[in-house]
Homo-oligomer: A and B are copies of this chain.
């Protein structure tokens, strides 16, 4: 009898966003007169792809229509034109990354699941919580021990390593989902030094780096000395360029990263050549347009719209005297639920009274309870109305 992977039975309950969807569905069914919900919940973008990307996608579709330009199988690790464009993008920021250290992926969420295949089951995963739920779930599925490191208001939700923690795999997401907190170079240096001392590997989730405004904050773990011997960086165009439904990400694995005499970069080449035939040619062409001058200018225009949303929401929270972090160098705002409400109570309260949908902080870890996440990716007009409703609801009751 085949034994299934019984670790699936260890997964807790179902997925956070599934619950949010069910609750909002139930609400709209019960309230047929409610015409609209103001969605600041799931981190999905609302602006279309920029015109440089659209033009590149159309052109790539045309390539697939003609025999002379038709593209069949591509190299598994990514098309050379895109790997080169991404490496150049790092080099322009003064970070030395070689073309064959860049791997094209279908997105950060896909890669965060797949990359665990590089590690033995015995390795322990450290997750700084609150965190993206899939960090924990993917390791539960693999049967790994998980070390939960709670972040807090006191450490600005960017804790430092604790030498007593026996971590092998370390997840760091900066700018952070869900808290919007950003690790400074000094704090990342402490994590890099800790990882190098222990022989641990940092999985650095840089999906939100494009939202950093403060020039002193690091966009990449490879800005930190010593990171090339201890870190893998996982990036995404989902939020940078609106690729949530178009799907493309990239990963950097330095050649210096070895454990037990094995090169993780070489192992990943072998993984990719065995387990995938790579990402769609059409999508890779669209992604390459993001790294052109025109593409970079256009995506900054979109990002500035989301940043204006952030200013609208943080102004409302400032007015209400609600504690929050994020929103400046990150697309997420993490706030303390008012009046001592727990996360789901506040979720229901906002849905019921002002039809605003956010994300309960407890969905990102137990110590997230009492907190709440807003995203700034919504429609600007909706975000403005949500902010006004928030003020009206909470001023009135205070």
Contacts and interface: CB of A to CB of B under 8 A. Distances in A.
A57 to B, nearest CB: 4
B271 A141 contact: yes
A53 to B, nearest CB: 8
Interface in A51-73: 51, 54, 57-58, 61-62, 64-67, 70-73
Contacts of A3: 119-120, 122-123, 168, 259-260
Given A1-B259, A118-B4, A120-B5, A279 B48 contact: no
B123 A2 contact: yes
A199 B70 CA distance: 44
Nearest to A54: B65
Interface string A241-265: 0101111000000000001101010
Contacts of A275: 109-110, 112-114, 134, 138, 141
Nearest to A47: B67
A184 B148 CA distance: 53
Interface stretch (A8-16, A82-90, A211-219, A385-393): A8-16
Contact of A168 (B2, B5, B8, B281): B2
A271 B259 CA distance: 28
A185 to B, nearest CB: 24
B54 A61 contact: yes
B1 A198 contact: yes
A278 interface: yes
A151 interface: no
Contacts of A91: none
A141 B274 contact: yes
Contacts of A200: 1-2
A107 B277 contact: yes
Interface residues of A, number: 81
A276 B120 contact: no
A259 B51 contact: no
A283 interface: yes
A137 interface: yes
A247 B279 contact: yes
Given A4-B118, A199-B2, A271-B141, A70 B57 contact: no
A245 B285 CA distance: 12
Nearest to A67: B48
Contacts of A114: 114, 275
Interface stretch (A38-46, A306-314, A320-328): A38-46
Nearest to A109: B277
B4 A282 contact: no
B246 A282 contact: yes
A54 B47 contact: no
Contact of A274 (B137, B199, B246, B279): B137
Interface of A: 1-6, 8-9, 11, 15, 18, 42, 44-49, 51, 54, 57-58, 61-62, 64-67, 70-74, 106-107, 109-110, 112-114, 117-123, 134, 137-138, 141, 168-169, 198-201, 238, 242, 244-247, 259-260, 262, 264, 267, 270-271, 273-283
Given A2-B169, A8-B118, 6 more contacts: A48-B65, A48-B66, A72-B245, A106-B280, A141-B275, A282-B283
12 contacts: A5-B120, A8-B270, A49-B64, A72-B242, A106-B276, A113-B274, A114-B114, A138-B274, A138-B275, A141-B275, A246-B280, A283-B283
